[in-house]
Amino acid sequence: MTVRTRFAPSPTGYLHIGGVRTALFNWLFARKHGGQFILRIDDTDQQRNVAEALQPIIDGFRWLGLDWDEGPEVGGPHGPYSQSQKLPRYQEAVRQLLDKGLAYWDYATPEETKAEMEAAEKERRPKIYSRRWTAETDADRKRFEAEGRKGSVKAKMPRDGVCRFTDHVRGIVEVPWAGEQDTVIQRSDGSVTYNLANVVDDFDMKISHVIRAEEHLANTPRQIFMLEGLGYPRPEYAHLPFVAEPPIKGGGKNKLSKRKIASYLTNAEFKKVYDHGKAVADRLGLRGTPETFNPVLTDFYQTVGYLPAAVLNYLVLLGWSLDGSTEEFAVAQMKELFSLERVTKGAASFDAKKLFAFQERAMVALPTAEKVAMVTPYLVRAGFTPYPAMVTAIVEAAGPRLKVAGDILDYTEFFAADDQLVYDPKAVAENVTGEPAAGWVVGLREVLATTEPFDVPTLKAAVEAFAAARGAKLKPVSQTLRVLVTGKEVGFGTFDTLALLGRERCLARIDGIMGEKGDHS
């Protein structure tokens, strides 16, 4: 059997990190077995679809390296791969189920259906629809429609027996048919619902293994009913544990949700990761909010500058384990070692801090040339000219302080034009224009103009001598120098900074601030 798996995101928002975990497991299973991974778009819910959300989903998959063999921008022999383009095909399947007596036209109003369910609950009966408003003939349909009712098509679920299927994660699953509610498969406007479209697509695309999140386990019996009614073969099933939210006060065991970001930010570690990423976005001029820019969405990691391999390494451990202890996997190893048999049943809590730790380790191990290639686009986007030699020098000087690619924006003083350097007013007031610092500026400029060679040891010795001659300590003097040439109080060591900038740029910056503040002689 050729292994064919699929992932079907809905373009109703940005790519959820839990969804990426499910897609990763599908991708790994297909790659391990030499099969195909299909990406299709579940856009049957036109009211919730967001047109601009599709491209970020596709871009996110490409960024992660989760390539698909068939689907959008790739094509394939089993398309179309967007459900919105297959309505006639779905409606034909609905007609087949109607013709076989496995579906029926229903004209109950939402209020009538709700009243039946409430009565059943009050009387402690199973919440099973009575089929009271079923239209068994064309005459029935005309009568109901004359009353102003709108009809939908529902699957006519069995009332006796058991639905039994094998799940690669959960073993043998048995569900009594008596508890399965008739489900709408075609709405009154002619559009079809997820369950019907899903069954038809899996058949049309020859999907061999349906690997999906456990919340879809409840859909499986009704989908089996429909696919068998249509004469389709059963795929194999594997329902993955859901990705749980981070530990938070009063919760932490529910499914991870992008809509609960405000509560997740009460978790100190989650907030730390969010704040770090938000700082990068702010420097890029992006207006991210916790609702749209947060660590629950893949776009967060792409924007901030995480390594795709680090994200995948963390995600593969959310519900899968090789031996209970090994955590570091290259993508090639994941493809070789992944198996459904080692997927756990229990939910795994999303730990933003742990993901960040994977990113830190991967970033430290990355060769300098690859780091330079990662960080350069961030400088360009922020409006700087990234001269390769300077970028390389700053990357090497920053070392492990560059935790994500966007952290290069902490060092823009090295890339800003000398006459466009932004000075922190508070830093200038405390370290340049106040006493005794104001009296040091001209002398310090002279030191930088005459020190030879212009390297770290020589500069340090010269500034130490300058400070001693004035009865000052080295630290405040060197801090004045730092603010003069960088505009801020933090960064690399002062003498490393001077050497990296070079004599000409240091003097130009001091001349610039002296011109603004007056001659500090």
Q: Spell 250-282 as b/e; 16+ CB within 10 A means b.
A: eeeeeebebebbebbbebeebbebbebbbebbe
Q: Are 403 and 366 in contact (CB under 8 A)?
A: no
Residue 156 is a catalytic residue: no
**Six-digit token string for 274:** 């969010």
Q: What is the CA radius of gyration of the chain?
A: 31
What's the rounded Cα separation, in Å, for the pair 66 and 62?
Answer: 6
Q: How far is CA 92 from the centre of its chain?
A: 37
Tell me how far CA of residue 38 lies from CA of 248, 468, 513, in angstroms.
36, 71, 59
Cβ proximity of 42 and 10 under 8 Å: yes
Whole-Å CA distances, 229 to 174, 196, 218, 272? 19, 12, 18, 52
- C-alpha 310/C-alpha 298 separation (Å) is 13
Q: What DSSP string describes 191-218?
A: -B-HHHHHHHHHHHTT--EEEEEGGGGG
Strands 171-176 and 162-167: antiparallel
Which one of the listed residues 86, 154, 156, 258 is annotated catalytic? Answer: 258
Catalytic residue annotation: 258
